Amino acid sequence: MLKEVFPCLLSWPSYRRFRRATIRLGHVALNLEHYRHTKKRSDKKMAAEGRNVKPILYSFFRSSAAWRVRIALAMKGIDYDYREVHLRKDGGQQRTEEYRKLNPMEQVPTLIIDGHTLFQSLPICEYLEETRPEVPLLPKDPAVRAKARALAEIINSGIQPLQNVNVRNKVGEEKAHEWVKYWIERGFTALEKALQETAGKYCIGDKVTLPDLFLVPQIYHAQRVDLDMSQFPTIKRIDAALSEIDAFKTAHAIRQPDTPPDERPSSKT
């Protein structure tokens, strides 16, 4: 027992071995701490350098998923380079091997930002929220925040996936119109009811939050299939209010670099 507490009571050769082992462990600990400190500084430096590189958004003007991200970027005041990925041309430019390396699901959007390649609109918006919280898109209260996410998910999970290009191709163009109309109407019926609890000027009270970013592109697609929006007065009212905000105007499908000339505002009467 005494030798465990007082190594000096060990025989001289045993004590020397004990000291050498102790010194080596000390060196290892110092080197490990130095590595951690250096890596932390390196990570911070790389993050700072990434912030100085202009983000790149791979988008299609009419894609509701890419549209949400465009609104989020505009709300956050983030300038970016726009790269068109036409979902119909050449059999779908999202299906090329080059683009598949960025987005294995062969979908838009893809956002390259801060040295990261991100895909899927909801996690992209969440990333922007967490890294650039100055203009918040989620409420602080955890319960209200959960409700905001739930409203966004009604669209993100319950409507939009059922109208995307892959599904439309599978259903067939002759049936796609009614198919899309049915699912949007069904989803908007649920959303209209849910908004009775949360809505103010916008989806959650009087501040723009995540579900507002998801709502506007979906209304655009509802109008494309001639859905009667008079049955959704709350949704219509919120959409009218959001249409006055500059970030929503900038991100609109009719104002993108790849918007066809006949769909731009100047060509409309």
CB proximity list for 108: less than 8 A, separation 6 or greater: 58, 59, 60, 63, 65, 66, 85, 87, 94
Question: Could you give the CA distance from residue 134 to residue 121 in angstroms, rounded to a whole number?
Answer: 20
The three state secondary structure string of 164-222 is: CHHHHHHHCHHHHHHHHHHHHHHHHHHHHHHHHHHECCCCEECECCHHHHHHHHHHHHH
Q: What pLDDT is attached to residue 52? A: 83
Of 164 and 232, the structure prediction assigns the larger pLDDT to 232
pLDDT at 53 exceeding the cut of 80:
yes
Quick check: 229 and 84 in contact, CB under 8 A? no
Q: What pLDDT is attached to residue 17? A: 73
Task: For residue 124, give the nearest of 198, 56, 23 by alpha carbon.
Answer: 56
Q: What pLDDT is attached to residue 20? A: 73
Taking CA atoms, 253 is separated from 5, 21, 113, 164, 170, in Å, by: 75, 68, 22, 16, 25
Which segments of the chain does DSSP mark as H helices, in order? Answer: 2-5, 12-51, 64-76, 97-102, 121-131, 142-156, 165-171, 173-198, 210-224, 233-242, 246-251
Highest mean predicted confidence (pLDDT) among 55-59, 173-177, 261-265: 55-59
Of 13 and 211, the structure prediction assigns the larger pLDDT to 211
Question: Could you give the CA distance from residue 94 to residue 84 in angstroms, rounded to a whole number?
Answer: 10
* 178-223 tens-digit pLDDT: 999 999 999 999 999 999 999 999 999 999 999 999 999 999 999 9
Q: What pLDDT is attached to residue 268? A: 45
Taking CA atoms, 199 is separated from 24, 77, 119, 145, 223, in Å, by: 64, 25, 29, 13, 22
**Span 114-143, mean pLDDT?**
98
With pLDDT > 70 as the criterion, what percentage of the chain qualifies?
Answer: 81
Question: Could you give the CA distance from residue 245 to residue 105 in angstroms, rounded to a whole number?
Answer: 32
Average predicted confidence (pLDDT) for the chain: 89
Question: Could you give the CA distance from residue 216 to residue 207 in angstroms, rounded to a whole number?
Answer: 15
**Span 148-160, mean pLDDT?**
97
Reading the block at residue 17, the tokens are 């071995």
Q: Where is average pLDDT lowest: 70-79, 119-128, 259-268? A: 259-268
Please tell me the pTM assigned to this model: 0.81
Question: Could you give the CA distance from residue 69 to residue 126 in angstroms, rounded to a whole number?
Answer: 10
**Span 98-127, mean pLDDT?**
98
With pLDDT > 90 as the criterion, what percentage of the chain qualifies?
Answer: 76
pLDDT at 10 exceeding the cut of 60:
no
Q: What pLDDT is attached to residue 21? A: 64
Q: What pLDDT is attached to residue 211? A: 98
